[in-house]
Amino acid sequence: MHPAFSVILFTVISGAGYGLFILLAAFHLAGIGPAMSHGELLAHGFASLGMITLGLILSTGHLANKKNAWRSFMRFKTSWLSREAVFAVLFYPFAGIYGLGVLLQGSAIGPLPAVAGSIAAVLAVVTLFSTGMIYGCLKTIRQWNTALTPANYIMLGIATGSALFAAIAAAFGNATTMHAGVAMVALVAAAVLKGIYYFWISRVNGPTINTATTFNRATVRLLDTGHTAGTFLTDEFGYDPRKDTIDNIKMGVFLLGFIAPVLVFASILSGAPAGIAWLAAVSSLVGIGMERWLFFAEAKHVVRLYHGAQTCTDSLAEPSRVGPEVAADTRRGDAPRGELGDTPGGSGS
């Protein structure tokens, strides 16, 4: 799948935002950890809502026809994308009531904002789950079609959120071993889950060029795609990163996404200044950005079988060709250039 920059930014940023919110709700409402100052609460709240909102705005970046974006709430009945949108929007009033409560009442909020905050936290999880399910429900992309996908989305959101949470807390001088510990646990859990995912996708199988073409008893090879240049399909699905790029990025995911942040928190636990939690937060965000890129780049849509891939994990047999690029001014969306007789006259024939 072609990694769309806007989608990467959106899922990483809003994921972290939801994670942060969940942490906030957990610490504040469930009373885990130290009491937070009004300022700190507001900082967590604004940061999470800001990130969520920024993410959502960015997410419309990949819509080719933004004026119909409002219609995306219509198909809650069957579409995870619709559900995500609905939950994401539903989150706001509850988060808003909670936020208002905090704004007006400080740390000691009343029951209404507290209940609203709890509901918002649940909605944050549900939204993260829905985001994951957008990908997880697709039978066409074997690497995504697993419960690990939503699990990953939730866990990565919480992990990045917890790093951020610790960092913000540190900024308010309120960071505790609790913060670092929770972040470490979340990061390790996310790393393990991600590891399981990577192990799992190395073994996925599914349709092959044989089942795609219906010729099951012999080698099938693409002779010609029937078009000169790339198409929407090769653009969208023809992305074939090099193996070493994948390996390097994967290293980056673990190093920046998990190992470095965990080390940071470990060192905080062993006495380093809590302020370096910021390093962990930024590092995890960058790492998870790389993870998100990989999530797309490694996903191989089954339509590639028609473009020459032998299995649904292979790269295309043919070097990909350039896809449809539109003159800059006419371009919509951000889909980038893809890779992929004895008559006197009877003398003719």
Partner 1 sequence: MRLGLVIDMDTCVGCHACAVACKQWNTSGTTGALTDYRPYGEDPSGVWFNRIRHYEVGDYPNNKTVNIPMSCMHCQHADCVNVCPTGASYKRPEDGIVLVDQDKCMGCNYCAWACPYGARELDREDGVMKKCTLCVDRIYDEQLPPEERQPACVITCPAHARFFGDFDDADSEVSRLVRERGGVKQMPELGYKPVNTYLPPRITRPIPTDDVRANKLVSSVKDWVNKMVAR
Partner 2 sequence: MSALPEFENHSEQEIKYTTCYMCACRCGIKVTVQNNKVRYIQGNRHHPINKGVLCAKGNAGIMKQQSPARLQQPMRRKPGTERGAGEFEPISWDEAIDTLSERLQKIRETDPRKLAFFTGRDQMQALTGLWATQFGTYNWAAHGGFCSVNMATGGLYTTGFAFWEFGDPDWDRTKYHMLWGVAEDHASNPIKIGLEKLKRSGGKFVAINPVRTGYQAIADEWVGIKPGTDGLFALSMLHVLLKNDQFDWDFLVRYTNATQLVVQTPGQKGDGLILRDDDGNPLVWELEQEAFVDGSQVDIKPALFGEYTAPDGRPVKTVMTLLAERYLSDEYSPENTEEVTGVPAKQTERLALEMAHVAFKETIELDIEWTDSWGRKHDKVFGRPVSMHAMRGISAHSNGFQTCRAIHLLQIMLGSVDCPGGHLAKPPYPKHVPPGIKPAKECAPNTPLKSPPLGFPTAPEDLVIDDDGNPLRIDKAFSWDAPISNHGLMHMVVTNAVNGDPYPIDTLIFFMANMSWNSSMNTAEVMDMLRAKDENGEYKIPFLVVSDAFHSETVNFADLVLPDTTYLERYDTISMLDRPISEPAAAADSIRHPILEVDRNVRPWQEVMVELAGRLKFPAFTKDDGSRKFADYKDFIVNYEKEPGIGFLSGYRGKDGKTHLRGEPNPKQWEAYIENQGFFVHHLAPNQQFYRFANKDYLELAKHAGWVGKTDPITIELYSETQQRFKLAGQGLYDGPQPTKQEHKDRLTQFFDPLPIWHKPLEQTRIDEDEYPFYAVNQRPMFMYHSWDSQNAWLRQICAQNYLYMNRGKAQSMGIEDMSWVWLESHNGKIRVQVKLIEGCEPNTVWTWNAIGKQKGAWGLKPEANESNKGFLMNHLISELLPKKGDPVDNITNSDPVTGQAAWYDLKVRITPADPDEASTWPDFDTIKPAPGMSEAPDQLRYAAHKPVHLNRSIRDVLTRGSLDEDK
Show contacts with partner 1 in window 234-253 (CB under 8 A): 236-237
C-alpha Rg value of the chain to the nearest Å:
24
For tokens 């995870």, the residue is 80
Q: Which amino acid is at 31?
A: G
Q: Which amino acid makes up residue 278?
A: W
Site string for partner 2, 304-323 (x = CB under 8 A): --------------xx----
Rounded to whole angstroms, how far apart are CA atoms 280 and 218?
52
Using DSSP's 3-state secondary structure scheme, residue 311 falls into strand
Interacting residues of 307 by C-beta distance below 8 A, sequence separation 6+: 222, 225, 233, 234, 237, 238, 316, 318, 340
CA distance 298 to 242: 10
**Residue 213 binding result from partner 2, partner 1, none, given CB thresholds of 5 to 8 Å by partner type:** partner 1
Q: Which of residues 250-279 bind partner 2 (CB under 8 A)?
A: none
Instruction: Assess 218 for contact with partner 2 (CB under 8 A).
Output: no
Stretch that binds partner 2, among 114-122, 259-267, 273-281, 324-332 (CB under 8 A): 324-332
State the Cα–Cα distance between residues 181 and 223, nearest whole angstrom.
57
Alpha-carbon gap, residue 98 to 109, rounded angstroms: 8
In angstroms, the CA 289 to CA 295 distance is 10
Is residue 328 a contact point for partner 1 (CB under 8 A)?
no
Q: Rounded to the nearest whole angstrom, what is the least distance from the CB of residue 230 to partner 1 in the complex?
A: 6
> Does position 3 bind partner 1 by CB under 8 A?
no
CB nearer partner 2, residue 20 or residue 133:
133
341 forms part of the interface with partner 2 (CB under 8 A):
yes
Compute CA 268 distance to the chain's CA centroid, rounded to the nearest angstrom.
28
Site string for partner 2, 28-47 (x = CB under 8 A): --------------------
Q: How far is the CB of 229 from partner 2 (least distance, A)?
A: 8
Q: State the virtual CA torsion across 112, 87, 334, 283 in degrees, nearest 10.
A: 60
In this chain, which of 65, 216, 270, 349 binds partner 2, going by CB under 8 A?
349
Choices 50-58, 125-133, 235-243, 336-344; region in contact with partner 2 by CB under 8 A: 336-344
Which tokens in the block code for residue 8? 């990467």
Residues in contact with partner 1 by CB under 8 A are: 1, 62-69, 71-75, 78-82, 85, 134, 137-141, 206-207, 209, 211-215, 218-233, 236-237, 301-303, 305-306, 321-326, 330-333, 335
Residues in contact with partner 2 by CB under 8 A are: 74-75, 77-78, 221, 223, 226-229, 318-319, 326-327, 330, 341-349
